[in-house]
Structures are given as structure tokens and as C-alpha cells.
Amino acid sequence: MSRVPLIDPAHATGERKQLLDQIHGAFGATPAMFRAVANSSAALKSMWGSFGALGGGVIPAKLGEQIAVAVADRNGCEYCLAAHTMLGRKAGASAAEMAAAQQGESADAHTAAALRFALKLVDGRGQVSDADVQALRAAGFDDGQVVEVLAHVALNLFTNYVNVAFGVPLDFPAVKLQRAAA
């Protein structure tokens, strides 16, 4: 059971309703995470705006979803792991690619570099070295892409914390956490 109310979009008004309507339009439903965040219109606007901005960025959707599952697994967020595994499959990743990404791995060197950097950010709480940034550049990422990888991590930290801290109920097909199993 959620530790904060899940806002019913049918009873929302103003900006909160507009945002929840946009979210419903994008997903065909209003996921519980957004209903929890809707307790604050500012937080909902921030989260939804970040999803929109990064969705229009230079990091491809597939890689964004792979980063999301790596971060979710590292943070023990079952909700984000389930949601982003499904979204990753819709973005063209295979089940095997998503399972590998969940562990911070990829057969693709470019993707593997991004996942390593993302998990270094999470594990180090943002403390990375010059060599870590250079390794991402050496894998073919320009400075804008490096910053965008960090932005994906930051957004996923926000969503992971919302779901874990507030006990948001899962409304996507469950995926087993790997880190918790290790």
C-alpha cells in the first residue's frame, strides 16, 4: 500500500489534471507512480517535463531504458525495473539485452560504457573521476551525451526514490531484481 495517496485523475483539477491527462494519453493509463507524485503539482510537472525533455534528447530511447533498468536494479526499485523493462522492449531491446542492462552489462561497447558510467554515478553518489568521464568520451560519447547520461541517471534516481520511499504499488509486469538476489 502506498505511503501517500494515489491521486485519482478523475478528481484532479487545474494543472494537475492537465498533466495527468497528458500522462494517460502517453501510456493509455495513468501509472501509479505518477498518481503518487501528483500529490505535488510541482513535482509532477518536474518529473513529466524531464521525461519529455530527455525523450527528445540525443540519447536513444533504447539506451535510456537500459540505463533506467541498471539504476533501478542498483537501487532495488521493483517498480522502475518493471516499467523500464517493458518500455525498453517497446524501444527495440531484446529480453536478453534488458536482462544484461539490469546487471550493468551489454555486448555493445557503446552501451556498456554508458551503463558503467551510470552505475559509477549511482554508487559514488555523483563522485566520478576524470578517467570515468574520459572513458565515456573514448567510447564515442560527446560532451552533450555525457551530460544526458547523467540526466537520465538523475531522473531515474528521482523515480526510484519515489517508488521505494512511498511503496508505490506495482502496475507493470514484475521483473526480478538481480542485485537483491546476489
Q: Which SS3 state, helix, strand or coil, does residue 126 take?
A: coil
Q: Which letter does DSSP use for residue 10 in this model?
A: G
Condensed to tens digits (0 to 9), the pLDDT of residues 71-128 reads 999 999 999 999 999 999 999 999 999 999 999 999 999 999 999 999 999 999 999 9
Q: Does domain 61-166 have CATH number 1.20.1290.10?
A: yes
Condensed to tens digits (0 to 9), the pLDDT of residues 121-159 reads 999 999 999 999 999 999 999 999 999 999 999 999 999
Interatomic CA distance for residues 24 and 10, integer angstroms: 11
- Contact call for residues 12 and 41 (beta carbons, < 8 A): no
Here the cell at position 7 is 491521486
Which among 48, 46, 51 has a CA at the least distance from the CA of 64? Answer: 51
Q: What are phi and psi of 59, to 5 degrees?
A: -75, 125
